[in-house]
Chain A
Amino acid sequence: QVQLQESGPGLVKPSETLSLTCAVSGYSISSGYYWGWIRQPPGKGLEWIGSIYHSGSTYYNPSLKSRVTISVDTSKNQFSLKLSSVTAADTAVYYCARHVRVVPAVGSWFDPWGQGTLVTVSS
């Protein structure tokens, strides 16, 4: 079955760039679906960051768009997140997930999810 695994530094300094990678196994990213990033600050709710197709087509949350870049590497079957100019407010567990049915005028959901990785922004 499809499995996702996030990786990257657990500590990032304020004003620097957060970089995470999500490795996908059990499914070829090139076969379809969008692939997304969602984050959850400690003790709080979920926030969608953005999603990418294997072609490189992306959708971003407008609230983060100016600081976010999501890219895909089909040769490694993985996709990545970069979030620039981070502050303490960006401290969160970051999840990657398969993003299902990212087409107009239909329901869309995230399934399955990676286990998540905690990123703390602190000097």
Chain B
Amino acid sequence: EIVLTQSPATLSLSPGERATLSCRASQSVSSYLAWYQQKPGQAPRLLIYDASNRATGIPARFSGSGSGTDFTLTISSLEPEDFAVYYCQQRSNWLFTFGPGTKVDIK
């Protein structure tokens, strides 16, 4: 089973700052990686699919990069509504798993 590791566990930043979140896979997942945002009491929302493609309606300040085992989600300039937990997700054959999440909170 491929294990996803996310770092840091918590990222404390101020509005307007750049956020860089990491997701690392224990084996290559090619570009088969998605990113989600989850706010308290809400369902996750798809941000990025296939490592670098923004989902419909997602602002351009969100970008994804990487392939193989190392992936990055970048938020170029944090807006107040971006403070949330972010999860990465991969597929390996017929098993779909999520990383443990990175919480982006207000410094």
**Counting chain A CB atoms within 10 Å of each CB, which of B42, B44, B45, B95 scores highest?**
B44
**Counting chain B CB atoms within 10 Å of each CB, which of A61, A107, A112 scores highest?**
A107
Interface residues of B in 57-100 (CB under 8 A from A): 87, 89, 91, 93-100
Evaluate whether A107 and B50 lie within 8 angstroms (CB atoms) in the complex, with A45-B87, A59-B94, A62-B95 already known: yes
CA distance A48 to B93 in the complex (A): 14
Interface residues of A in 29-59 (CB under 8 A from B): 36, 45-48, 51, 59
The 8 Å CB contact of A109, one of B43, B49, B94, is: B49
Chain B positions within 8 Å of A104 at CB level: 93
The reply to whether B46 and A109 form a contact with Cβ atoms under 8 Å apart is yes
Majority DSSP secondary structure for residues of A touching B? strand
Q: Which of A20-28, A78-86, A113-121 contacts B (4 or more CB under 8 A)?
A: A113-121
CB distance from A108 to the nearest CB of B (A): 4
CA distance A51 to B96 in the complex (A): 10
Interface: B34 (CB within 8 A)? yes
Chain B positions within 8 Å of A113 at CB level: 43-45
